[in-house]
Amino acid sequence: MTTELRVLQPDEGDAWYGKLERAFGEEESAEERAMWRELMEPGRSLAAWDDDEIVGTAGAFSFGLTVPGGASVPAAGVTMVSVQPTHRRRGVLRAMMRRQLDDVRERGEPLAMLTASEPAIYGRFGYGAATQEMRIKVDTTRVAEPDLPGSDDVRLRLKEPAEALAACEAVYARTVAGRAGMLVRPPGWDRMMILDPEDDRDDDEGPLQCVVAEAGGEVCGYARYAVVADWSDAGPQGTVRVWDLTATDPVVGAALWRYLFGIDLTTYVTARNLPVDDPLLHLVEDMRRCLIGLREAAFVRPVELGAALAARTYQRPVDTVLEVADPFCPWNEGRWRLSGDGTGATCERTTDPAELALSVRELSSAYLGGFTLSALAGAGRVRELRPGALAAASVAFGTDVAPWLPHEF
């Protein structure tokens, strides 16, 4: 079988998207499909053709990814990857990944990132799990609501999600530089946060709601959530399903959680994607009853390794030589001297003896500070070639604030 890869043409979009939906075994609502079609960037979608049939799809978004230190680094957000079931396991994905990473490099984006349908797929292409998301289910009849002094001064107003969108997005934008893994979203992405097709709701799930928090006359936070009604013989036991909660101030955050914990006719508060160090864990007295679950979230890949490592800062001074294996992007292979601290870094080719040996996949996992080099070494995936080099580099790569990807794409 020979397939040909081409950049998608405007008149091929419907067929391409239909194939994507079929590979995922689902059909999206018209509203959702329209939104994604609008967000797709011309020139960044690839189609694999077998004669006159599209058999593979892959796209990319142009994000700015916050890296440790707060810089926003151009990153290709890889998305909409699929191969038709008739053509699977014949190398179509591999060919698309090859072409896409070459394109990303040519565009000068030092990083690529994605969220994976299945984590086992992308390591071979140099992507490593780089952030985690925390899920919670809090029994609010057992866990007292957060109570921080000053919360009473925060004014909460319920708004239509669309009406409050600009104000919410402005709050989100203020938080982006403060946490590695967050995204500067191109225009239009704010609407994804309020996409709520009725067909996609579970039984008894109400529409998306938005509560906006004001302090000092300014919008400083918001929470978007839906209430899932549940009536048992003993009475109401609904769930507040939190979509997202953003606050620029701890008191505002506490006021929003207190509001969500206190919604009448509900017994649970759930959230699917919080940072692993979310303040909520310290706002409640009983962390155990938050029923915490962790899952890997963003996968990251340095496309230009030197530029990527030089773009972030390091929480302790580091000066080390890395021996990097990167068979899929061989231009990254070899020895690199990384020197940096909390103010900046350089990462240059060197012939000096290596102190740590690892593949690009491990660097990907350590890049945002979500996983430590020491933990990866514990799994045999990083080798220390000079005693002491591992602990020093591992601490340097770490971050005080846990990296977090606020949403899938």
Out of 17, 61, 122, 261, the active site residue is: 122
Residue 394, annotated as binding a ligand: no
For residues 95 and 47, what is the distance between their CA atoms, to the nearest angstrom?
11
Cα separation of the two ends of the chain: 31
95 three-state secondary structure: helix
Cβ atoms within 10 Å of 359's Cβ, excluding its own: 21
What residues from 86 to 105 belong to the interface with ligand ACO (CB under 6 A)? 88-94
Known catalytic residue: 367? Answer: no
Binder to ligand ACO among 83, 274, 321, 338 (CB under 6 A)?
Answer: 83
Min separation Cβ 119 and ligand ACO, Å: 9
Cβ atoms within 10 Å of 148's Cβ, excluding its own: 17
Binder to ligand ACO among 5, 15, 35, 121 (CB under 6 A)?
Answer: 121
Sign of the torsion angle spanned by Cα atoms 27, 29, 32, 34: positive
The site string for ligand ACO over 123-162 (x = CB under 6 A, - otherwise) reads: -x--------------------------------------
For residues 271 and 288, what is the distance between their CA atoms, to the nearest angstrom?
15
User: Is residue 300 within 8 Å of residue 315, measured between CB atoms?
Assistant: no
What residues from 304 to 363 belong to the interface with ligand ACO (CB under 6 A)? none
Out of 222, 261, 314, 409, the active site residue is: 409
Contacts of 173 (CB under 8 A, 6+ apart): 184
Site for ligand ACO contains 289 (CB under 6 A): no
Binder to ligand ACO among 3, 45, 66, 79 (CB under 6 A)?
Answer: 79
Residue 81, annotated as binding a ligand: yes
Q: Which helix (H) or strand (E) holds 319?
A: strand 318-325
Residue 92, annotated as binding a ligand: yes
For residues 81 and 59, what is the distance between their CA atoms, to the nearest angstrom?
7
Indicate the residue among 8 and 240 with the shorter CB distance to ligand ACO: 8
User: Is residue 186 within 8 Å of residue 62, measured between CB atoms?
Assistant: yes
Indicate the residue among 96 and 322 with the shorter CB distance to ligand ACO: 96
Residue 37, annotated as binding a ligand: no
Beta strands in 17-139 (DSSP E): 46-50, 53-66, 72-83, 111-115, 128-129, 132-139
Q: How far is CA 322 from CA 125, 191, 307, 384, 397, in A?
A: 19, 42, 14, 10, 13
What residues from 16 to 35 belong to the interface with ligand ACO (CB under 6 A)? 23-24
Min separation Cβ 120 and ligand ACO, Å: 4
Known catalytic residue: 371? Answer: no
Question: Which residues lie across from 358 on neighbouring strands?
Answer: 324, 382
Stretch that binds ligand ACO, among 1-9, 116-124, 236-244, 391-399 (CB under 6 A): 116-124
Residue 101, annotated as binding a ligand: no
Residue 118, annotated as binding a ligand: yes
List contacts with ligand ACO (CB under 6 A): 23-24, 78-83, 88-94, 114, 116-118, 120-121, 124
- Binding residues for acetyl-CoA are 81-83, 89-94, 117-118
- Catalytic positions are 122, 409
